[in-house]
A and B are shown apart, each in its own frame.
Chain A
Amino acid sequence: MQMPAPNSRILSRKDHIVARLQSVLPVGAVVHDPIQTRAYECDALTAYKCPPLCAVLPTSTNEVSAVMRICHEEGVPVVPRGAGTSLAGGALPTADSVILGVARLNDVLETDYDNRFIRVQSGRTNLSVTGAVEEDGFFYAPDPSSQLACAIAGNIAMNSGGAHCLKYGVTTNNLMGVTMVMADGEVVQIGGAHLDAGGLDLLGLICGSEGQLGIVTEATLRILAKPEGARPVLVGFDSNEVAGHCVSDIIKSGILPVAIEFMDRPCIRATEAFAGAGYPDCEALLIIEVEGSEAEIDDQLSRIIEIAKRHNPVEVRESTSAEESAKIWLGRKSAFGAMGQINDYMCLDGTIPVSELPLVLRRIGEMSKDYGLDVGNVFHAGDGNMHPLILFDANKPGDLEKCEAFGADILRLCVEVGGCLTGEHGVGVEKRDLMVSQYGDDDLEIQLQVKDVFDPGWLLNPAKVFPLNVTETRRAG
């Protein structure tokens, strides 16, 4: 994977740039020692690393603005960073870039239960947003598995989802407003405690823009009353196809589960060996969770089981207690860890129409044989967001490249059947070069033109999202 060559003029002016940044920030907020900048050399896509010129950790929107003014004047690229859990290399620096980390911006600014929103600084972690309102019976719905670590800033930039987005939507459906610092340091407010935009929906555009349009420093988020309870049922099938049909039938029935998770045999076996959740040894299993009062849960689960039974399941396990629920979720929650025990893995994120599930799973199986690499599937089936985990050995020469080629083939397949390259992890550097398989030249050009409007100098996270050859002339300018 290629990154642009660093600008030598910037590298040679490092001392000057660092001094200017130090002049507007508190002591210790500029990390420039070559050993210490290594802490910012990558995100969760650890295959690619490069320490930045320096990293800054501002403590207010005004400080972010001052940093951006300096970087704008000096022509230095800026890579925004939340908690660095991106799986797409979104926060990967270049040697000539300043990492702008929002980790010190983590206050709750306002909580309003009557109007059901919370306003926070963007470096606050996802889980601690819910933590701030939980005692009063509320929660923030989008719940990426990384929620203990990841920041709202990164969630907004990637439009992150979670296990429960089947019912509650992803970040963009729960974001009401932002304070954002533009590439030239200007501070803008978009949206707020009211719904929808008065003019063009700029908020919708910013969400998912991968740090390329502005630095988000504050966010107004919708909070919801916690449901009275939740319980899952686990259903095993002897074919992926049948499990796929069962998903469609449940969705069509009008019952709205909060989650429908899918695991295939390789993944079931790996998690069993790792976590011992007592899953049946079958081709495919679904975990379907519903919410409400005890009676409402019983009613919904019995309807779901009735639908599942029409598909000849090999196992139906309805949770009747918190303990049993935890056991059912245990395997699913440890799936990534379990696969990681076996080998290094790459996690894909392509999304497909639910109806194409059986076909895509079959094709992945065939490709797995062709490439000689194992793959396990664990994903959000309700919305077609796949997470194939390709196993490889990082110490074996050529294995990473083979794995990447396999991954690219899977993603192209997703596009071919009417889906897309990424459902929630973002493009970053990882899927940058595949963008041409989903979009035509003009479809990409209009997106670049959007960035031109927000960031005419192309200083914000410039080497991401779009193929480098497509953005070359703009980045040079």
Chain B
Amino acid sequence: MSNTPTSEQDLSDLIQAAEGPIRIVGGGTRDIGAPVEGTPVSTAGLSGVTLYEPGALTLVAQAGTPLEEIDALLAKEGQRLAFEPSDLRGLLGTEGASTIGGVVATNASGPRRIQVGAARDFCLGVRFVDGAGRVLKNGGRVMKNVTGYDLVKLMAGSWGTLGVMTEVSMKVMAIPETETTLVGKGQSAVQAVESLSAALGSPFDVTGAAFSEGKTFVRIEGLEASVAYRAAELANGALAGFQPVSGAASSDIWARIRDVSAFAGRDGSIWRISVKPSDGPRLVAALDDLSPDALYDWGGGLVWLHVADQPSAGAARVRAELAKLGGHATLVRAPADVRATVPVFQPEPAPIAALTRGLRQKFDPHGILNPGLMGA
């Protein structure tokens, strides 16, 4: 049997006949999680946009559709995936082309997440085959849907451990007329996060708020006159001394933040940590003994942490400090032997771990979908 099924039925047959674990491969751009020993099953044969209605802001695509194909199609109508999925190939040193299924499976969202929401917020419906080979659907292609349980959210970010998605429906949005980034220099992380909080707490609809490589960045998008107005209001108020950058120069800044390019090509391990924004700098300061380097996105709430030369990527220290603050840390990049021993995803408290285990047991009764990837 082929490991590149070309239909839902094919995939279902393949899963039902499987005699051991399966490793689900979208574009294969993510080599993370505890290394999965399993037969690779590719979604490449499940490709193509099945429906696109620009006037209804909806797109339905098979899960293996390359992200680039979707981006190009949307761009022709002046639209985009607003949650800004990143391209981590540079950071992770991988090749291949991301798929829409992989993006949903990892709930991959970039800088705009703070304002518009995550991939999970833009996914309207899914079709998937679970670990028993059942062909299932949930949600649909409409913006509002509370009919039954929201398994769409559950599938988004489940990293292929609950089922193999075959089709996803996404809400898309218009590309705004223009964007401007206000750039501040010379701030400490604490000062930067204070500035970002002030900007995010203003009525000026900030769509990006980051502190990276010594600079503080605040992005505004929208209609020409409106962006000019809001940039001026911020520069005259909360962001005094910040300088505006517009057009391609502005979008380049955010591509670099989105893709964590500052850490690409550097040796060492990378953590991706979600905390309360004001805790970002606090956490990094507390981890001073690891000599970390940090980038802050999401107003300070998303910390990309680089640590070099630490046994086990400093996992015990990172998680001990995080436990005091609340939040979660994922070990995005580390050598395979480290990932095999250090829990890559945040260990869960016992009652939550029991729920997770219970759900996986229902969706994947034989434990064959990406086993071990998200922990036992």
- A194-215 contact mask (Cβ, 8 Å, vs B): 1 or 0: 1111111111110111000000
Q: A198-B330, A300-B223, A353-B56 are in contact. Are A208 and B301 (CB under 8 A)?
A: no
Q: Does residue B374 face the partner (Cβ distance < 8 Å to A)?
A: yes
Q: How far is the CB of A344 from chain B (nearest CB, A)?
A: 24
A466 to B225, CA, bound (A): 51
Q: Are B203 and A419 in contact (CB under 8 A)?
A: no
A419 to B125, CA, bound (A): 11
Q: Inside 8 A of B117's CB, which chain A residues have their CB?
A: 169, 173
Q: Are B144 and A194 in contact (CB under 8 A)?
A: no
Q: How far is the CB of A150 from chain B (nearest CB, A)?
A: 14
Q: Are B328 and A197 in contact (CB under 8 A)?
A: yes
Category for how many chain A residues contact B:
35 or more
Q: Are A194 and B275 in contact (CB under 8 A)?
A: yes
Q: Are B113 and A195 in contact (CB under 8 A)?
A: yes
Q: Are B356 and A296 in contact (CB under 8 A)?
A: no
Q: Does residue B234 face the partner (Cβ distance < 8 Å to A)?
A: no
Q: Are A450 and B142 in contact (CB under 8 A)?
A: no
Q: Are A385 and B151 in contact (CB under 8 A)?
A: no
Q: Inside 8 A of A449's CB, which chain B residues have their CB?
A: 362-363
Q: Are A202 and B352 in contact (CB under 8 A)?
A: yes
Q: A351-B142, A423-B145, A446-B130 are in contact. Are A255 and B362 (CB under 8 A)?
A: no
Q: How far is the CB of B197 from chain A (nearest CB, A)?
A: 4
Q: Are B151 and A205 in contact (CB under 8 A)?
A: yes
Q: A188-B351, A355-B55 are in contact. Are A199 and B302 (CB under 8 A)?
A: no
- A329-367 contact mask (Cβ, 8 Å, vs B): 1 or 0: 000000000000000000000011111000000000000
Which among A115, A172, A199 is the interface contact of B345 at CB below 8 angstroms? A199
Closest to B142 in A: A351
Q: Does residue B118 face the partner (Cβ distance < 8 Å to A)?
A: yes
Q: Does residue B320 face the partner (Cβ distance < 8 Å to A)?
A: no
Q: Are A453 and B359 in contact (CB under 8 A)?
A: yes
Q: Does residue B245 face the partner (Cβ distance < 8 Å to A)?
A: no
Contacting residues of chain B (30-76) with chain A, CB-CB under 8 angstroms: 53-58
Q: How far is the CB of B185 from chain A (nearest CB, A)?
A: 22
Q: Inside 8 A of A300's CB, which chain B residues have their CB?
A: 223, 226
Which among A201, A253, A443 is the interface contact of B153 at CB below 8 angstroms? A201
Interface stretch of the complex, out of B3-11, B131-139, B254-262, B333-341: B131-139
Q: How far is the CB of A338 from chain B (nearest CB, A)?
A: 24
Residue with the highest number of chain A CB atoms closer than 10 Å, among B53, B58, B143, B352 = B143
Q: Are B149 and A205 in contact (CB under 8 A)?
A: yes
Q: Inside 8 A of A208's CB, which chain B residues have their CB?
A: 146, 149-150
Q: Are B276 and A115 in contact (CB under 8 A)?
A: yes
Q: A202-B355, A225-B202 are in contact. Are A173 and B326 (CB under 8 A)?
A: no
Q: Inside 8 A of B329's CB, which chain A residues have their CB?
A: 198
A307 to B373, CA, bound (A): 50
Q: Are B157 and A197 in contact (CB under 8 A)?
A: yes
Q: A251-B55, A442-B134 are in contact. Are A115 and B278 (CB under 8 A)?
A: yes
Q: Does residue B166 face the partner (Cβ distance < 8 Å to A)?
A: no
Q: Does residue A265 face the partner (Cβ distance < 8 Å to B)?
A: no
A129 to B275, CA, bound (A): 23
Which among B118, B330, B351 is the interface contact of A182 at CB below 8 angstroms? B351
Q: A227-B203, A447-B149 are in contact. Are A195 and B274 (CB under 8 A)?
A: yes
Q: Are B197 and A158 in contact (CB under 8 A)?
A: no
Q: Does residue A146 face the partner (Cβ distance < 8 Å to B)?
A: no
Interface stretch of the complex, out of A39-47, A67-75, A424-432: A424-432
Q: How far is the CB of A59 from chain B (nearest CB, A)?
A: 23
A435 to B203, CA, bound (A): 41
Q: How far is the CB of B141 from chain A (nearest CB, A)?
A: 6
Which among B174, B223, B276, B326 is the interface contact of A296 at CB below 8 angstroms? B223
Q: Does residue B13 face the partner (Cβ distance < 8 Å to A)?
A: no
Q: Are A159 and B56 in contact (CB under 8 A)?
A: no
Q: Inside 8 A of A251's CB, which chain B residues have their CB?
A: 55-57
Q: Does residue A228 face the partner (Cβ distance < 8 Å to B)?
A: yes
Which among B56, B175, B362, B375 is the interface contact of A450 at CB below 8 angstroms? B362
Q: Inside 8 A of A158's CB, which chain B residues have their CB?
A: 146
Contacting residues of chain B (127-171) with chain A, CB-CB under 8 angstroms: 130, 134-138, 140-154, 156-158, 161-162
Q: Are A453 and B358 in contact (CB under 8 A)?
A: yes
Q: Inside 8 A of B109's CB, which chain A residues have their CB?
A: 196
Which among B134, B148, B194, B358 is the interface contact of A439 at CB below 8 angstroms? B148
Q: How far is the CB of A189 from chain B (nearest CB, A)?
A: 8
A305 to B107, CA, bound (A): 38
Q: Does residue B219 face the partner (Cβ distance < 8 Å to A)?
A: no
Which among B150, B362, B375 is the interface contact of A446 at CB below 8 angstroms? B362
Q: Does residue A193 face the partner (Cβ distance < 8 Å to B)?
A: yes
Q: Are B151 and A384 in contact (CB under 8 A)?
A: no
Q: Are A299 and B226 in contact (CB under 8 A)?
A: yes
Q: Does residue B346 face the partner (Cβ distance < 8 Å to A)?
A: yes
A291 to B255, CA, bound (A): 28
A197 to B352, CA, bound (A): 12
A225 to B161, CA, bound (A): 38
Residue with the highest number of chain A CB atoms closer than 10 Å, among B109, B141, B173 = B141
Q: How far is the CB of A225 from chain B (nearest CB, A)?
A: 5
Q: A169-B121, A422-B146, A422-B147 are in contact. Are A195 and B301 (CB under 8 A)?
A: yes
Q: Inside 8 A of A452's CB, which chain B residues have their CB?
A: 358, 362
Contacting residues of chain B (351-376) with chain A, CB-CB under 8 angstroms: 351-352, 355-356, 358-359, 361-363, 374-375
Q: Inside 8 A of B363's CB, which chain A residues have their CB?
A: 446, 449
Q: Does residue B263 face the partner (Cβ distance < 8 Å to A)?
A: no
> Known contacts A201-B157, A447-B149; can you find 19 more A-B pairs with CB under 8 A?
A115-B278, A161-B144, A169-B117, A172-B153, A193-B326, A194-B327, A196-B274, A198-B346, A199-B375, A205-B154, A252-B55, A295-B225, A296-B223, A296-B226, A354-B55, A420-B147, A423-B146, A440-B137, A452-B358
17 contacts between A and B (CB under 8 A): A172-B121, A193-B276, A196-B107, A196-B113, A198-B345, A205-B149, A225-B200, A225-B201, A251-B56, A253-B174, A355-B55, A383-B142, A383-B143, A418-B142, A426-B146, A427-B146, A449-B363
Listed in ascending order, the chain B residues whose CB lies under 8 Å from chain A are: 53-58, 77-78, 107, 109, 113-114, 117-118, 120-121, 130, 134-138, 140-154, 156-158, 161-162, 173-177, 194, 197, 200-203, 223, 225-226, 229, 274-278, 298, 301-302, 326-330, 345-346, 348-349, 351-352, 355-356, 358-359, 361-363, 374-375
